[in-house]
Amino acid sequence: MAFTPSSGYAAPSNLQDLGDDSLPIFNVERVSLQFSIAADFVAAQVANNVLVLALSNNRILRIDLNSPADVDDIDLPKKPTEIGVIRRMFLDPSASHLIISTTQGENFYLSTQSRQPKALSRLKGVIIESIAWNPSLPTSSTREILIGAADGNVYEAFIEQSTDFLRREEKYLQGVYKADGPITGLYVDFLPERPDFRRALVATSSKLSHFVGKVGGHKYEGRGSIFAQFFERETPTVYEVPRSPSPATSTLAVSPDPQDTTAPDGTGSERAYAWLSSQGVFHGKLLVSGDIADLGRRVYSESKMVPRSHIPSLQTTGGRPRTVQDPANAMILSQFHVLQLVEGRIVATNRLNDKIVHDQTVLEPGQTALGLVADQTKNTYWLFTAQEIFEINVIDEDRDVWKIMLQAQQFDRASQYAKTSAQKDAVATASGDYLVSKGQFMEAAAVYGRSTKPFEQVALTFIDKVEPDALRKYLLTKLTTLKRSLVMQRTMLASWLVEIYMAKLNVLDDTITTKAELSETMNAADTESQLSIVRKEYQDFVSKYKSDLDRKTTYEIISSHGREEELLYFATVINDYNYVLAYWVQRERWSESLSVLKKQTDPEIFYKYSSVLMAHAPTEFVDIMMRQTNLDARRLIPAFLNYNRITKAPLPQNQAIRYLQFEINQHNSTDAAVHNTLISMYASAPTRDESALLAYLRAQSYAHEQNYDADFALRLCIQHKRVVSAVHIYSAMRQDAQAVDLALKYDDVELAASVADRMESGDQARRKKLWLAIAKKVIGQAEGIKGAIEFLKRCDLLRIEDLIPFFPDFVVIDDFKEEICTALEEYSRHIDALKREMDESAETAKHIKLDIKSLDQRYAIVEPGEKCFVCRLPLLARMFFVFPCQHAFHGDCLAKRVVELAGVAKSRRIRELQEEVDGGGRLGAKREQAVRELDELVAGACVLCSDMAVKQIDEPFVLPSDDRNEWAL
């Protein structure tokens, strides 16, 4: 089975503007059946995209509209002659449970998982007119449901599918209510957040009863009735119409499941209901909030009746429309419309304003309909006749809702349903105008901000009404809607807002100061609270829209109002810390200045304000700088020098020295400027104690460093008479004479002596010279010669004869005769030692002469087969040399080897002598002299075991030119 549109229907071609009134909202479309049926339709139901058709031969067709080719063909268990023909079917919203009622009062149950209907024996003889399904569906059972009968009885039943043939499908059946006519409609639902409460609507042809209250409960589901006491205990709210003398259709309909449950007024979960009676359609909202006891009255008070006469008749009498309108044959609800079948026409009435929006003839004259059905879960709508199926297509059903809500001044809901920007703007503009007329300026400001109403008109409205708060809110809202590309407009709005904020804050401050009352309901205390709120709003505004504010303009606006706190907050937000610091520094607010500086990492800010902060808050400023890692100490030197010039703090509390020491010790600075500055501060200190300077200089020496300029340091030390430090610098420069002279210049003999003692012991002449200078100073200053001599005994280089020239002419020998005697004794001992050395030398010379004499008789034995140690040829073949170590060489082999090993000069001389000897150019004594010199050069030492051999230690044993096989193992 398949469904296809009939050939006579044409879909709208232009659906782009869904708000166009020229486009239909509803269109009835005949569904083409792709299968043949042997009997007419007698009943039909649609739920959850499942279509159930009952045929006159008691066959049931169950069709899944998602796959319409798949059809379940189900027969009732008995023939029509036994049970009658199917008259009504009731399908729950989930399409899980189906109850079938026949003309003879036989009722059957069919579940979605079964193809075999089961007879409901307890319901035998009950003519079912309506069913209220349990709102908790779907489950494997129906749970508690209400069944309305033609005799006015309302039954409660609990039906579940059973595989046991002997077990009944209905667990229980109990009558719970009796009306005065056929039950034409039933509906039950929950109340939000009250799971044990129910609402029930019971409709007859002339009454609509609204029950609400608490139902009974059982420990186990399905063990007993929950509605019996409910209907006994609760008194219904009844809406009644006069009984009609002629038969009229009566039915109860509820709107489908809402597609959007987020309505702004919280009514998204409220369904609509409609009751069709002989008088017309009575409809309204099924309210769920408020007092339970008064719920029914409020539901009916907010409902309204649309009379039958509201629908025009197409039939005429004598050329005039009929005055008596035929009653509707069926009625259902969509989300916003009441759909009625009247005289073969589908008439759709908007239930919000009772306006007819669609009137389409569907049935042929004389053709009757089986029913008008709504799929509650899928929001689809169907019309059935005995041979045909029609689908009522819905196209943009809510497109006019915004207009209706707007006319009813329900602006929030109108805005919800407005789709296009033009619609939303119209709602916003109308809502703003309405709120202004009611004096609700703050609310109007928020609405105007989202509209396109001319900016000037809105602004002037609030200005004329003297509503600066509303103007501020409007400007804020407008600023959020402007595009980022509109830079100029955003800047102007943001600047205006700053002006308004400042004016508001000033007014509040003035009120607090004078303790005046703004109004009867706001005193000074309330103003303080409002001041905090407005200030917080300003801060949030500046933080959010700082990119839209022009820096210079904003500074001028805030400054003109004298708002110090707001001015600094703005500067902080835009990271203009230069401005903040300058502000506090100009006002000599050092603690605030340092608080700002603590948060900064830009070195330029530290350099810029270093002089003034070192002068007024040196300790805290240095503490902050010591936490930075990217400062260049060289650029802070001017500030340090200025601070050092004006401070009277002692050296341990000098903050400039503290930072320079930190830079040198912790950051290992080697910058000469930093070190020179530290030396200058040490040297220029008013104290005479130079231990700090000397400690620094010694630390540099111990580290084998000299990062300072020695000449500069020396000049400073001499200028400020830092003698010990200057002497240390001279010593570090290896200028000991100058160091001693400087110490002696300032009569510091001990310092000069310490310098002389530190000289290297290898340079005795210079050391003695220094001590002689010290001796001259000591002897010249000494009051007694003996004291001077005792002091000079510290040096082991000075003798009494060295000191005598420095003694005054009037000194008598008695003053130092002991020293002279000691010196003479020492000289005597020294002469004796020299005599012993001379005797030993004479003896040694004698032995040497004897050894030289024995050399003439020394010889070596050469065996006949002995070979040259260089060429390995017989040694006796030509002239040779034999050494005391028994190594023997040919003369030419030895000369060649010596040339290879000797230096350049010696090699050149050997070649020259060989040429002189071999060339024969010289004769006699000259040639013999050349031969002797050559022999001395060549045979002076053995090339294998003398110093020349030791020098060959880095040469390999096997040369590249040698035969390596000889060395193979």
Which pLDDT score, from 0 to 100, does residue 174 have? Answer: 93
Task: Answer yes or no: is pLDDT of 31 > 90.
Answer: no
Confidence of residue 262 (pLDDT cuts 50, 70, 90): very low
Which pLDDT score, from 0 to 100, does residue 316 have? Answer: 47
Which pLDDT score, from 0 to 100, does residue 423 have? Answer: 80
Which pLDDT score, from 0 to 100, does residue 687 have? Answer: 83
* Tens-place pLDDT, residues 724-742: 888 888 777 777 777 777 7
Which pLDDT score, from 0 to 100, does residue 264 have? Answer: 43
Which residues have C-beta within 8 Å of that of residue 728, sequence separation ≥ 6?
694, 697, 698, 701
- Percent of the chain at pLDDT exceeding 70: 83
The CA distance from 245 to 238, in Å, is 21
* Tens-place pLDDT, residues 147-175: 999 999 999 999 988 766 556 778 889 99
* Tens-place pLDDT, residues 528-578: 888 888 888 888 888 888 888 888 999 899 888 888 888 888 888 888 878
The CA distance from 197 to 663, in Å, is 80
- The arithmetic mean of pLDDT across residues 930-934, rounded, is 81
The CA distance from 456 to 453, in Å, is 9
Task: Answer yes or no: is pLDDT of 716 > 50.
Answer: yes
Cα maximum dimension of the chain: 182
* Tens-place pLDDT, residues 550-559: 889 998 998 8
* Tens-place pLDDT, residues 740-779: 777 777 777 777 766 666 665 556 666 666 666 666 666 6
Which CATH number is correct for 243-313+323-398, 2.40.160, 1.25.60, 2.40.128, 2.20.28? 2.40.128
Which pLDDT score, from 0 to 100, does residue 380 have? Answer: 93
Lowest mean pLDDT among 389-403, 651-665, 795-809: 795-809
> Has this prediction a pTM greater than 0.75?
no
Task: Answer yes or no: is pLDDT of 796 > 60.
Answer: no
Confidence of residue 14 (pLDDT cuts 50, 70, 90): very low
Both tokens assigned to 786 = 């003996």
Which pLDDT score, from 0 to 100, does residue 404 have? Answer: 81
Q: Exposed, middle or buried, 250 (CB in 10 Å: 0-12/13-18/19+)?
A: buried
CA-closest candidate to residue 938, choices 905, 897, 908, 885: 897
Q: Which residue has the tokens 């300790």?
A: 619
Confidence of residue 922 (pLDDT cuts 50, 70, 90): low
- The arithmetic mean of pLDDT across residues 678-695, rounded, is 86
Task: Answer yes or no: is pLDDT of 56 > 50.
Answer: yes
Q: Exposed, middle or buried, 635 (CB in 10 Å: 0-12/13-18/19+)?
A: middle
Confidence of residue 481 (pLDDT cuts 50, 70, 90): confident
Cβ count near 482 (within 10 Å):
14
Q: Exposed, middle or buried, 441 (CB in 10 Å: 0-12/13-18/19+)?
A: buried
Question: Which helix or strand (DSSP H or E) is residue 821 part of?
Answer: helix 817-855
Task: Answer yes or no: is pLDDT of 209 > 90.
Answer: yes
Which pLDDT score, from 0 to 100, does residue 334 have? Answer: 93
Question: Do 484 and 493 touch, CB atoms closer than 8 A?
Answer: no
Which pLDDT score, from 0 to 100, does residue 813 have? Answer: 55
- The arithmetic mean of pLDDT across residues 689-699, rounded, is 85
- The arithmetic mean of pLDDT across residues 335-347, rounded, is 92
Which pLDDT score, from 0 to 100, does residue 101 have? Answer: 95
Task: Answer yes or no: is pLDDT of 520 > 60.
Answer: no
Confidence of residue 447 (pLDDT cuts 50, 70, 90): confident
Which residues have C-beta within 8 Å of that of residue 148, sequence separation ≥ 6?
128, 129, 130, 131, 132, 154, 182, 183, 184, 185, 186, 202
Which pLDDT score, from 0 to 100, does residue 773 have? Answer: 66
Both tokens assigned to 291 = 């007092």
Which pLDDT score, from 0 to 100, does residue 790 have? Answer: 58
User: Is residue 138 reached through a cis peptide bond, with omega within 30 degrees of 0 on the bond before it?
Assistant: yes
Which pLDDT score, from 0 to 100, does residue 85 have? Answer: 93
Question: Which helix or strand (DSSP H or E) is residue 297 part of?
Answer: helix 295-301
Confidence of residue 214 (pLDDT cuts 50, 70, 90): very high
Lowest mean pLDDT among 139-143, 316-320, 595-599, 695-699: 316-320
Q: Exposed, middle or buried, 147 (CB in 10 Å: 0-12/13-18/19+)?
A: buried
Which pLDDT score, from 0 to 100, does residue 803 have? Answer: 52
- Distance of alpha carbon 948 from its chain centroid, rounded? 79
Q: What is the mean pLDDT of the chain?
A: 81
* Tens-place pLDDT, residues 387-433: 899 999 998 888 888 888 877 777 777 778 878 778 887 878 787 78
Task: Answer yes or no: is pLDDT of 800 > 60.
Answer: no
Which residues have C-beta within 8 Å of that of residue 599, sequence separation ≥ 6?
577
* Tens-place pLDDT, residues 187-199: 999 888 888 899 9
Confidence of residue 89 (pLDDT cuts 50, 70, 90): very high
Which pLDDT score, from 0 to 100, does residue 6 have? Answer: 37
Which pLDDT score, from 0 to 100, does residue 966 have? Answer: 64
